[in-house]
Structure 1
């Protein structure tokens, strides 16, 4: 079976998939990250481990995969619906999707600049005042026909060199769109996944039980019939 790790960063998940026997491809946009991936590949000697420096939106040129891993990537895109349609077209069996989602109701995000420049900085310093992480999201709106909130990745004036060094941020878009949780589920069905589940124990023993509610982040398992 073939597996793809989208936005693979330094290749950690790609390595584990290859060790399990999958013919694995990790796709990563930044040169610094892909250099680390290739260093790992050279030292592990896994012949079924491959990396490509590319925009994940170009996934179709790498053909189809039985298993698709999308961890910590979707919420960095400004076109998540179009991207998930591409992912579905390139996935024949299963998608594992770990992503943030936009809270359905959060008064802070309706306050615009007041939250961004006053409330959020205070809560960052005094975490006890923020039972839910404050990501400075936009008020609820729609994008590509689905509900969610916008997140600012970096300033429009940021230069290419600076963006290259932002290893945990988006690459080609300065803001990203976080789908509302129920819209996220609906999108996965709409793009062609017959069954969609939420996995609640995906953090194992490395995070507290309230991780999903506090960080508005969860794991979806989408299956092709």
Structure 2
């Protein structure tokens, strides 16, 4: 199957499938994300950039993190390529009664509607790994650098490529995903109409594997290198706990330098 649109825009199909099944959150259920239950101090060190800093979240999805930061007093703009996700994010913000968080549909590799040096803080929580095409990653980092003010903070938490990848590679093989090892990490792709089934609270959702399988798993040193080449100074970076597939998330705090 050939992709007829930007591969990461197939996430719209995922959100539609999830909401059609009567499930309210892709992030909490399908992605298995548990971080929303953590206290804020476990997610971000606000001493680096305290509220009400002007904040942008790339790949915000249904807005879970954007809303979390807005509750702490940050002024937040969440951006995502999926119209369905953005609609859900806006509903959640209204329900929470938050006036300091907005959401907008956008392509994170090209954000002409955002002015240069207009944000103090940029957030990326499992967005970079959705860019499986090599040319999209530097384009995205260029935009992140452009819209941050000098001294601004870029906080990323991404899927990491494990030092012992056997368990993860076996998982890819099980689902027929194509995996290519590159210098920067591992890229997975899957050109098929096959559906991935998942149940939650008795409801079954069928998710298009075409979108789910496009992933980029970074090596920590390579991610640091790419950020440094773009003009960021790495303040600190570390691995999270090992997950069931053998991978570990990479957590990076970087500052925009002149």
Give TM-score, length-normalised by structure 1. 0.68
Match of residue 144, structure 2, among 58, 63, 87 = 87
- Where does residue 150 of structure 1 map in the other structure? 187
| Post-superposition CA distance 1:59-83 (Å, at most 9, x none) | 3422231111100110110222321
Match of residue 127 from structure 1: none
User: Alpha-carbon deviations, 1:153-211, whole Å to 9, x = none?
Assistant: x42668xxxxxx8599859xx7443332211111111111123411456xxxxxxx434
**What is the root-mean-square deviation in Å for CA atoms of aligned residues?**
3.4
* Alpha-carbon distance, 1:58 to partner: 2.9
Rounded to whole Å, the distance in 2 between the matches of 1:169 and 1:97 is 25
* Distance in 2 between residues matched to 1:95 and 1:169, nearest whole Å: 29
* 2: CA distance, partners of 1:81 / 1:104: 24
Match of 1:99 in 2: 158
Corresponding pairs, count: 187
Q: 2:130 aligns with which of 60, 66, 76?
A: 76
| Offset from partner CA, 1:66-114 (integer Å, 9 cap, x none) | 111100110110222321122122222101101012335646788xxx8
Stretches of structure 1 lacking an aligned partner (at least 5 in a row): 122-134, 159-164, 202-208
Instruction: State the SS of the aligned residue for 1:61.
Output: coil
Aligned to 1:56, the other structure's residue is in SS state: coil
3-state SS, counterpart of residue 214 of structure 1? coil
Structure 1 residue 138 corresponds to structure 2 residue 179: yes
CA deviation string 1:133-152 (max 9, x = no partner):
xx96634225xxxx322112
Distance 1:182 1:212 in 2: 22
Q: Name 1:220's counterpart in structure 2.
A: 252
How far 1:221 sits from its partner (Å)?
Answer: 0.9
Q: Does 1:192 align with 2:244?
A: no
CA–CA separation in structure 1 for the residues paired with 2:65 and 2:172 = 34
CA contact (8 A) 1:2 1:66 kept: yes
Note if 1:22 corresponds to 2:74: yes
Counterpart mapping for 1:153-168 below 5 A? 154-155=190-191
Distance across 1 between alignment mates of 2:102 and 2:92: 11
The answer on whether the counterparts of 2:119 and 2:148 sit within 8 Å (CA) in structure 1 is yes
TM-score of the superposed pair, with normalisation by structure 2 = 0.61
Change in Cα spacing, 1:82 to 1:168, as seen in structure 2 (3 Å) is: farther
Are the structure 2 counterparts of residues 33 and 178 from structure 1 closer, same or farther at C-alpha, using a change threshold of 3 Å? Answer: same
